[in-house]
Structure 1
Amino acid sequence: MGFFRRLFYVNDIQATAFLMLWLFLQALIFALGIVNYRFTSVYTNARGLLGWSLIIARASALVLHVDIALVLFPVCRTFISLLRSTPLARVIPFDRNITFHKLCGYSILVFTLIHTFCHYANYAKLVQANPTGPSFAYYCFVSGPGLTGHIMLFALVLMVITSQAKVRRRSFETFWYTHHLFLVFFGGFTIHGGFCLVKPDSGQCSNMASFWKYWVASGVMYLIERCLRETRSRHKTVITKVVQHPSNTVEIQIRKDFWHSQAGQYIFINCPEVSLHQWHPFTLTSSPEEKFISIHMRVVGNWTRAFAIRLGCELVDRKQTKGRAKLQRPHVVNAIESSTSSTQFTSAGRVFPTQSHTLPQVLIDGPFGCASEDVFNYEVAVLVGAGIGVTPFASVLKSIWYRTNAPLGKSRLRKVYFFWIARDKECFEWFQSLLKAIENEDVNQFIEIRTYLTGRLNQDEMRNVMLNDEEGQEDALTGLKSPTYYGRPNWETVFNNMSRDHPSTDIGVFFCGPKRLGANLSQQCKKTNTTTTDGTQFYYNKENF
């Protein structure tokens, strides 16, 4: 229920209307299927023998055909990125493509179970009608429909179980490999109806295996997507610098031929030496104005750990460092260039000599569009990043900084609020140079920075803060002019103040981080929009990839 409840954490009519339309179409297709198979003359004899279990089984199969035809479109990211820049984006919430993919998946599971249990009833009736014929077990596990059906059911259930958030976080590799069982599911579905267990009155079973007609469009689109991935990944790509940050976070700078991106986009990375087939998404922390690609990777799973070790990083077990400093200060652990660009947003720390082993080859697919691209479409933008969720906003802030210092044209954006919420104080060092540069150059207070520390400080750290945190000086934790707040933001107060300061204004709220915090922000947007009287509207946008 939690998944479906989160679908309604939206503050715009667009997503809700699209969801209602999709649910209506599901119900309509199922109802039309029931009416058709209840009254059609094609299955009069079979309907007389099997009754409603046949009707419901065939109607649910019709819904399955439509859902399976749609389920691949949301994961065609190149196609989605192109569509989100068209007027269709005003009607269809393309940024929720993964949510729609999950919806289709759950619908496939539900109607597959309905279809399966109805056929169990059909098999029982066939055995009862002909006791000397095939057994119930034969129909279920030996006959063509029964065998292919159970293979498909096993593949589907395995995909659904391993796609749950807890499994993905613990073992992304399990999710990645089992999700490719969709090939087994599609293959089984293609021939499933061709066995013609339930024959029409004419006795002819031509055109029964018609599933391919439904998935051919999305299948071709998905095949093109995979071919584009192979083509883009073959462009020359070189890792130029690796920087190890506190809290087991690694910054990777890369150069790639034929590269063009927008602020806030994301990419997929593959390291063949770690895994030939796994592609993992990362938001860009570099801006379009820079001459290199950069990402910040939090080491939280088997793949990221193996990749970080291959890059030359020395990882620290969080359990062993509890209560102490998590890592040393940022330092370059591997580099083939002394500098990747003229940018001043370089990581602090000393440069280590290049290690004897070469840096691994990586393949990059993308970039792909996401919600953060739309920051410049609002008059006021609120950027909220929690932990490593701050990464897409590093790209956005860099781009804002470049545009402010070298404006290329007019922009609707006139005020930015940046909220960074972190549990560990060491996290604030990830983009310290960027935030300092913004504060030093931002004479018009265009960007307002607010950092929040939710974790505890030990006694030595508290003493250091008390001794060095003087009013008007740099913050003792972040080194910024903006003070660090302790605890979580009071979003109701924050939004009410913004509504007062920016009357009759469209404010875009962009979030990347834990789902619970995202749900709170979305609800606060809805609440403020319904209570404000000055015409200010908050529009919630969340990163989904």
Structure 2
Amino acid sequence: MDNKYPPAYEDMDDSRYSTEKTNDNILQPEEVFLQRQTSAKRLLSKEEQTKAARSDSMKKLTRGDSAKKLQTLNKFDPANAYSSTDTVLKPSTFFEKFQAWMINEGARKIFTAMWIIIHGLVFTMAFLNFLFHDNLKTARETFGITFVFARSAALVLHVDAAVILFPVCRNLISYLRQTPINTIIPLDQNIEFHKAIGWSILFFTIVHTVSHWINFYRLAVATNGGIVMWLKLNFISGPGATGYVMLIALIVMVCTAAEKPRRAHFNRFWYFHHLFVPFFGAWAFHGAFCMIQPDREPKCKDIASFWKYWIASGTIYIGERILREIRARHTTYISKVVMHPSKVVEIQVKKEHITTKAGQYIFLCCPEISLWEWHPFTLTSAPEEDFISVHVRVVGDFTEALAKKLGCDYEEEAKIRKKNKDRIKSQYDGIDISTNNLELQKVLPRVMVDGPFGSASEDVFKFEVSMLVGAGIGVTPFASILKSIWYRVNYPKKSTKLRKVYFFWICRDYDSFEWFQSLLSAIEEQDLQQFIEIHTYLTGRLRHSEVGNILVNDDGNIKDTITGLRSPTHYGRPNWDKIFSNMRDQYPSTDVGVFFCGPKPLGKQLHTKCNLWSQGFEDGTRFYYGKEIHVTSPGAGPWAIGSTQSVSWWSLSISTESLVKIKIICKGSGKVVHTGEATCGTGNHDFVVGDWDVNDKYFPVVYLEKDETCKGVGGLFEIYKTDEKSYY
């Protein structure tokens, strides 16, 4: 099968790209121009600004003309073209409210409530049993109420242990997603469920541990053993020793699994999380010592019952780990490596016995780097293609090592490009990668693949209309989805329910996603049925060259000046209320799937909008929020001087009335956790988080005097030495 896109159709109807203007743009054209022009100028030196001021394009165009130029770029916006009232039609009856609530919230909240109720019932029933059971009178008289709390918490812990491994059995979750169980249990939130159980285990472990500390104290007092007896009971007795093994393992797992430490040091999280093996091992013997005995025989009949709870989930989990090892040894080889700009490496892999679906992800291991490291990557290939591919952004230890093993040395390539002034182009440009890197002549390393595993994006094809929203690095899973949609429409093998797709691409700049931009161009050129509508939103600042291109291009230019796409670029963030309002009016009595991948704050916003604009009555439009689609990122830092790193910029709180506040964590000769200006280290290692004003709010800059290790949360950071700083 030929997997390349057919030649672009030259006689495509361009009527939909008319220069029709609307009044519903997110920013007024004149405001957009002034903001972008000011932002672009701030990137230039004084000399460059002087040249820019003297350029013909800047001289000839008036302020109003410039605004018209930018307005032309927003010449067609389906979200605004179908303009109507933005009024939210709220449900009037209880049944309509319930129907609307069930669209996105019902199953998840009902399941959560049931799980909390089960915990409450287990603890309450256990508490009453241990409080009034006539066979435990001696224990209650010796230890008091803390004995009841310890035993009740232990029973809840056994229930949690029985299910905590189920959410991480990926093959099981992928299978259950295809069954009616998926409509009852929110399987797409399996990791959140796993975390919730983990926190529950931590809480009831604290209750159990503190209760037994008190119990041991009372036993030491009752036997006149004093502090020596208390220490023996804690650290030498069987329950005490195994309990501390479990407690230490649990604390380490929880601390390294917290979101920030996990993102910053994924490998540390991965290795330390395998402490669950000694954790469960110690648990198996923890209750086998029959320290607190009942009053009547048989006294130790029900001890060490942990295995009865754990056996089901533990067996399935062990089976999945064995299956991983078997699948990893299937024949795989790298068929192609594409070195994209902006430190993105595309890896195409041939593998036997593998069937994929759009939007799934795999785990990748390179034995030459580490036999034990498995990293998740979202597939960017379509199921219709005869290979699987991932796009790896070279950030972090593992991805840098992987790129070098594949012969992609970006530092050396940058020197060659600077010397030869060659441009490395994406494969979608139809030009092979030009490189003088001799490493590419070596034999490519072997990779092991586990998966694929399912994700919420598989549901795209279950709706008549789907909205796909990708922000920042979150565009990655949509490569597979959009390609698969294109194949299904142009080479249909079976009927599909999907009739229309709206893709919203939101990013600060396009520099890191040239490969994706080229893919969109290929899809757009050959989407003869206008099945996919692409809307790009640029939220960052424009460069001087981009401003110049906008100013000098004709209004009638078919392709967008910035992206090269036929669909225009919109400046600023999407007006979601307007978009959802117009989708509601355009598609009455329709189920619309909304699928998102990107920063969590935007995901919460879209989730809220889906609930707000969904209608519970029969003829209403229902927006089904498909949860955040899984995408992986190697983590942030450490960053070197001269590098540019982009992290979760949606976490910024930005307004036109205030300056940006950035949290910086600098680990050098000293320690600093501060916002705004801070001092790094114990000497004169000052750095400034600044050079912003209202028009320059999207680009905080960090300057370091020494080669410190710096890490930030929120924003695009450029790392410089202090002596290179140009003060404002």
TM-score, reference length from structure 2: 0.68
Judging changes above 3 Å, is the alpha-carbon distance between structure 1 residues 346 and 397 closer, same or farther for their aligned structure 2 residues? farther
Residue 167 (1) aligns with residue 253 (2): no
Judging changes above 3 Å, is the alpha-carbon distance between structure 1 residues 57 and 530 closer, same or farther for their aligned structure 2 residues? farther
Judging changes above 3 Å, is the alpha-carbon distance between structure 1 residues 10 and 64 closer, same or farther for their aligned structure 2 residues? farther
Partner residue in 1 for 2:291: 197
Which structure 2 residue ranges, 5 or more long, are not aligned? 1-100, 415-420, 632-728
Secondary structure at the aligned position of 2:279 is classed as: helix
CA contact (8 A) 1:418 1:448 kept: yes
Partner residue in 1 for 2:433: 350
Higher relative contact order (CA 8 A, sep 6+): 2
Partner residue in 2 for 1:389: 474
CA contact (8 A) 2:377 2:390 kept: yes
Residue 52 (1) aligns with residue 153 (2): no
CA contact (8 A) 1:57 1:116 kept: yes
Partner residue in 1 for 2:587: 502
Equivalent-residue separation in structure 1 for 2:208 and 2:368 (angstroms): 43
Partner residue in 2 for 1:512: 597
Larger displacement relative to structure 2 (506-515 or 429-438): 429-438
- Code of the residue aligned with 1:162 in structure 2: it is T
**Which of 557, 569, 573 is 1:488 aligned to?**
573
Judging changes above 3 Å, is the alpha-carbon distance between structure 1 residues 328 and 103 closer, same or farther for their aligned structure 2 residues? farther
Q: CA deviation at 1:307?
A: 1.3
Residue 284 (1) aligns with residue 358 (2): no
For the aligned residues, what is the CA RMSD?
A: 2.5
- Code of the residue aligned with 2:361 in structure 1: it is Y
Which structure 1 residue ranges, 5 or more long, are not aligned? 1-7, 321-326, 333-343
Partner residue in 1 for 2:349: 254
CA contact (8 A) 1:245 1:430 kept: yes
- Code of the residue aligned with 2:268 in structure 1: it is T
Equivalent-residue separation in structure 2 for 1:208 and 1:32 (angstroms): 19
Partner residue in 2 for 1:74: 167
Larger displacement relative to structure 2 (498-507 or 128-137): 128-137
**Which of 5, 13, 20 is 2:113 aligned to?**
20
Q: Per-residue CA shift, 1:489-532, capped at 9, x if unaligned?
A: 12111111111111111111111111111111111111212699
- Code of the residue aligned with 2:581 in structure 1: it is N
Residue 180 (1) aligns with residue 274 (2): yes
CA contact (8 A) 2:546 2:562 kept: no
Q: CA deviation at 1:466?
A: 2.7
Partner residue in 1 for 2:204: 111
Partner residue in 1 for 2:251: 157
Equivalent-residue separation in structure 1 for 2:484 and 2:172 (angstroms): 25
CA contact (8 A) 1:254 1:293 kept: yes
Judging changes above 3 Å, is the alpha-carbon distance between structure 1 residues 210 and 533 closer, same or farther for their aligned structure 2 residues? closer
Residue 128 (1) aligns with residue 221 (2): yes
Q: CA deviation at 1:195?
A: 1.7
Equivalent-residue separation in structure 2 for 1:11 and 1:378 (angstroms): 15
Q: CA deviation at 1:312?
A: 2.0
Larger Rg belongs to: 2
**Which of 629, 634, 639 is 1:543 aligned to?**
629
Equivalent-residue separation in structure 2 for 1:524 and 1:347 (angstroms): 40
Q: CA deviation at 1:359?
A: 1.3
Q: CA deviation at 1:460?
A: 2.5
Equivalent-residue separation in structure 2 for 1:523 and 1:279 (angstroms): 35
TM-score, reference length from structure 1: 0.90
Partner residue in 2 for 1:234: 329
Equivalent-residue separation in structure 2 for 1:347 and 1:366 (angstroms): 30
Q: Equivalent pairs: percent with the same residue?
A: 53
Q: Per-residue CA shift, 1:378-397, capped at 9, x if unaligned?
A: 11101111122112111111
Judging changes above 3 Å, is the alpha-carbon distance between structure 1 residues 78 and 482 closer, same or farther for their aligned structure 2 residues? same
Q: CA deviation at 1:425?
A: 1.7
Q: Per-residue CA shift, 1:275-334, capped at 9, x if unaligned?
A: 1111111111101111111111223322122212222223469xx9xxxxxx986547xx
Larger displacement relative to structure 2 (346-355 or 466-475): 346-355
Secondary structure at the aligned position of 1:282 is classed as: strand
Matches within 5 A, 1:116-515: 116-132=209-225, 135-202=229-296, 204-315=299-410, 330-331=424-425, 350-352=433-435, 355-468=440-553, 470-515=555-600
Judging changes above 3 Å, is the alpha-carbon distance between structure 1 residues 330 and 182 closer, same or farther for their aligned structure 2 residues? farther
- Code of the residue aligned with 1:27 in structure 2: it is G
Q: Per-residue CA shift, 1:370-417, capped at 9, x if unaligned?
A: 101110101110111112211211111111111111112221111101
Q: Per-residue CA shift, 1:230-256, capped at 9, x if unaligned?
A: 111111111122222333222111111
Larger displacement relative to structure 2 (142-151 or 532-541): 532-541
Q: Per-residue CA shift, 1:261-287, capped at 9, x if unaligned?
A: 111111111111111111111111101
Judging changes above 3 Å, is the alpha-carbon distance between structure 1 residues 328 and 279 closer, same or farther for their aligned structure 2 residues? farther
Q: CA deviation at 1:93?
A: 1.2
Larger displacement relative to structure 2 (278-287 or 193-202): 193-202
CA contact (8 A) 2:378 2:630 kept: no
Q: CA deviation at 1:348?
A: 5.3
